[in-house]
Amino acid sequence: MTLDPDQLEARLMSHGVYVTSLDTDGERIEIEYESIKAGNTGAVPHREVGRVINVVRDLTESPRGVRGEVTDLDGEQVGNWRAKAEWLRELENGELSEVDFSERVIETITEGQ
């Protein structure tokens, strides 16, 4: 199943996440988005990262690596994060708990890059 950019944007917009760029293929998804919360705090909101990943998981058939670039509403970069396809497969297969998965993703967050 291909990732429908309109569906992704619609699902995230109500949470203050505005997709500005989406690049995808069979192995990975790169998403750049503006975040109201990131603009208010100057940091990448962890819950928001989880929300983006969960929406991507809902809209794709098989696990793919996801990389997020987060900006504020002025387009200034706040940070980035990633979730490896391997982690998503392990999560899906029950080999990795939600908590462990979240910790791995949070450890990838870099701010001000």
The pLDDT score that the predictor gives to residue 84 is: 97
Q: How many domains does the chain have?
A: 1
At 1 the pLDDT is 54
Say how far apart CA 34 and CA 18 lie, in whole Å.
Answer: 5
State the residue range of the domain holding 93.
5-111
* Per-residue tens of pLDDT for the chain, all 113 residues: 578 889 999 999 989 899 999 999 888 999 999 999 887 888 999 999 999 999 999 999 889 999 999 999 999 999 999 999 999 999 999 999 999 999 999 999 999 75
Report which secondary-structure segment, H or E, holds 67: strand 65-71
Q: What is the CATH number of the domain that holds 105?
A: 3.30.70
pLDDT of residue 9: 94
> What's the pLDDT at 74?
92
Q: Which residue stretches of the chain are H helix?
A: 5-13, 36-41, 46-59, 85-92, 98-108
Rg of the chain (C-alpha set): 13
Task: Say how far apart CA 67 and CA 84 lie, in whole Å.
Answer: 8
Q: Is this prediction's pTM over 0.75?
A: yes
CA gap 96, 87 in Å, rounded? 7
Report the DSSP pairing between strands 77-83 and 110-111. antiparallel
* pLDDT score recorded for residue 113: 57
